[in-house]
């Protein structure tokens, strides 16, 4: 991923938090000479990504070759209008957060470990609900049958790249103008970028 120095995000804890907040990623690998991609929800535990895919998906069979894969996570992003800047003669741009994770997948064979991982994933996704649904409350024989239809795997993180392109290369007045402009659009996604930009400005003071 092309990343100018002023857009680099090297704080691993911050990158892990960003993955947890935007955990629906894209897994890319080569299978039989073809580049393939699958969109999956991930968990991050210690220095590993944990996920699963349908057993009918042939991508997991490429894991046996022990080749590195790439997982891409997209954080908040939004269009930035030059009309929001104080500076003149500017052009539009796009602010965004992106994270690339590289590692070699390992298939999880133990059925109980697969079950526990799915329970953690469910608990994570249900955490904000008033009455969270729990995997352990479901019929275990039915769940075990469903689990046999998936392949669970983990990816120890060998390398991680983070990019937060949030107008850091512009004067603070331009950044503040972009924050105000984003908040005025009324779009929730734009507000997320504005909040991210605002946090960065405050943290860098």
**End-to-end Cα separation, the chain, in angstroms:** 28
Homologous superfamily assigned to 5-113+150-200: Electron Transport, Fmn-binding Protein; Chain A (2.30.110.10)
pLDDT tens for 66-84 read: 899 999 999 999 999 999 9
State the pLDDT at residue 21. 92
Residue 82 is predicted with a pLDDT of: 96
- pTM of the predicted protein model: 0.91
Low-confidence ranges of the chain (pLDDT < 50): none
- Closest Cα to residue 12, out of 46, 51, 50? 46
pLDDT recorded at residue 200: 87
Q: What is the pLDDT of residue 131?
A: 93
Q: What local confidence, expressed as pLDDT, does residue 202 receive?
A: 84
Task: State the DSSP string of 141-163.
Answer: HHHHHHHTTEEEEEEE-SEEEEE
Domain coordinates in residue numbering, the chain:
5-113+150-200
CA distances from residue 24 to 1, 19, 76, 137 in whole angstroms, order as listed = 19, 8, 13, 25
- Residue 91 burial (C-beta neighbours within 10 Å; 0-12, 13-18, 19+): exposed
DSSP 35-51: EEEEEEE-EEETTEEEE
The dihedral built from the CA positions of residue 67, 157, 153 and 25, taken in this order, carries a sign that is: negative
């Amino acid at each position: 991923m092309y990343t100018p120095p002023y857009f680099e995000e090297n704080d691993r804890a911050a990158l892990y938090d960003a993955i947890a907040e935007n955990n629906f990623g894209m897994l890319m690998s080569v299978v039989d000479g073809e580049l393939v991609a699958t969109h999956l929800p991930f968990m991050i535990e210690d220095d590993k990504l944990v996920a699963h895919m349908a057993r009918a998906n042939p991508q997991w069979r490429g894991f046996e070759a022990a080749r590195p894969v790439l997982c891409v996570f997209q954080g908040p992003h939004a269009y930035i209008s030059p009309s929001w800047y104080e500076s003149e003669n500017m052009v539009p741009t796009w602010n965004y957060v992106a994270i690339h994770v590289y590692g070699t997948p390992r298939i999880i064979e133990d059925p109980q470990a697969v079950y526990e991982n799915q329970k953690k994933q469910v608990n994570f996704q249900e955490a904000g609900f008033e009455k969270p649904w729990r995997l352990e409350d479901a019929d275990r024989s039915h769940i075990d049958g469903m689990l046999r239809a998936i392949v669970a795997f983990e990816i120890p993180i060998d390398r991680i790249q983070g990019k937060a392109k949030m107008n850091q290369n512009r004067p603070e007045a331009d950044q503040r103008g972009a924050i105000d402009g984003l908040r005025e659009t009324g779009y929730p996604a734009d507000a997320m970028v504005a909040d991210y930009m605002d946090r960065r400005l405050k943290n860098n003071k």
